[in-house]
Amino acid sequence: MKDWEKVLVSPETTIRETIKIIDESSLQIVLVVDKNNRLLGTITDGDIRRGLLRGKSLESSVKNIYYVSPITGSVKDDADTLHKLMVRKFIKHLPVLDNEGKVVRLEILKEILQKNKHSNPVVLMAGGLGSRLRPLTDDFPKPLLKVGGKPVLETILENFISAGFGTFYISVNYKAEMIEKYFGDGSKWGVEILYLREEKQLGTAGSLHLITERPTLPFIVMNGDLLTKVKFEKLVDFHNSNNELKKSMATMCVREFNMQIPYGVVKKDGNKLLGIDEKPVQRFFVNAGIYVMEPDVLDIIPRDTKFDMTDLFGKLLEDHKETVIFQIREYWMDIGHMKDFEEANGEYDNIFSM
Consecutive H or E run containing 237: helix 232-246
The model's confidence at residue 115, banded by pLDDT at 50, 70 and 90, is low
- What is the DSSP code string of 116-176? H-B---EEEE-----GGGTTGGGTS-GGGSEETTEEHHHHHHHHHHHTTB-EEEEEE-TTH
Residue-level pLDDT at 166: 85
CA distances from residue 296 to 121, 197, 223, 300 in whole angstroms, order as listed: 14, 21, 21, 8
Of 294 and 6, more confident: 294
Residue-level pLDDT at 311: 92
pLDDT above 90 as % of the chain: 19
Taking residues 239-262, report their average pLDDT: 85
Give tens-digit pLDDT for 269-309: 888 887 888 887 888 888 899 999 999 999 888 888 888 99
Residue-level pLDDT at 114: 62
Residue-level pLDDT at 252: 93
Taking residues 245-257, report their average pLDDT: 87
Question: In this structure, are residues 208 and 123 in contact, taking their beta carbons and an 8 Å threshold?
Answer: yes
The model's confidence at residue 116, banded by pLDDT at 50, 70 and 90, is low
Of 128 and 227, more confident: 227
Least Cα distance to 159 among 173, 141, 171, 147 occurs for: 147
The model's confidence at residue 25, banded by pLDDT at 50, 70 and 90, is confident
Give the range with max mean pLDDT: 2-11, 239-248, 313-322.
Answer: 313-322
Give tens-digit pLDDT for 98-114: 888 888 888 887 766 66
Question: In this structure, are residues 279 and 260 in contact, taking their beta carbons and an 8 Å threshold?
Answer: yes
CA distances from residue 130 to 71, 175, 222 in whole angstroms, order as listed: 36, 11, 16
Q: Of these residues, 56, 234, 279, 339, which one is catalytic?
A: 279
**350: number of CA atoms within 13 Å, CB side?**
6
Is the pLDDT reported for residue 2 higher than 60? no
* Strand-strand pairing, 332-334 and 219-223: unpaired
Residue-level pLDDT at 112: 66
Of 336 and 65, more confident: 65
Q: 152 in the Ramachandran plot: left (φ > 0), alpha (ψ -120 to 50) or beta?
A: alpha
Taking residues 163-181, report their average pLDDT: 89
Q: What's at 5, amino acid-wise? A: E
Give tens-digit pLDDT for 189-212: 878 899 999 888 888 888 888 888
Question: In this structure, are residues 222 and 204 in contact, taking their beta carbons and an 8 Å threshold?
Answer: no
Residue 46: exposure state from Cβ atoms within 10 A (0-12, 13-18, ≥19) = exposed
Residue-level pLDDT at 135: 81
Consecutive H or E run containing 94: strand 93-97
- Which residues 6+ apart lie within 8 Å of 134 measured at CB? none
Question: CB 144: neighbour CB atoms within 10 A?
Answer: 22
Q: Is 279 a catalytic residue?
A: yes
Give the chain's mean pLDDT.
85
Backbone angles phi, psi at 143, to 5 degrees: -65, -15
**For residue 135, cis peptide bond before it (omega within 30 degrees of 0):** yes
Taking residues 68-94, report their average pLDDT: 79
In CATH terms, 117-352 corresponds, of 3.30.930.10, 3.40.50.720, 3.90.550.10, 2.60.40.10, to 3.90.550.10
In CATH terms, 4-114 corresponds, of 3.30.70.1520, 3.40.47.10, 3.40.605.10, 3.10.580.10, to 3.10.580.10
- Which residues 6+ apart lie within 8 Å of 3 measured at CB? none
Least Cα distance to 73 among 111, 47, 102 occurs for: 102
Question: CB 229: neighbour CB atoms within 10 A?
Answer: 13
Residue-level pLDDT at 194: 93
Would the CA dihedral through 208, 176, 155, 109 be positive or negative? Answer: positive
Taking residues 323-331, report their average pLDDT: 91
Residue-level pLDDT at 281: 81
CA dihedral 198, 203, 208, 211 (to 10 degrees): 0
Residue-level pLDDT at 264: 84
Is the pLDDT reported for residue 1 higher than 60? no
Report the SS3 class of residue 350.
helix
- Tell me the domain boundaries of the chain: 4-114, 117-352
Is the pLDDT reported for residue 125 higher than 70? yes
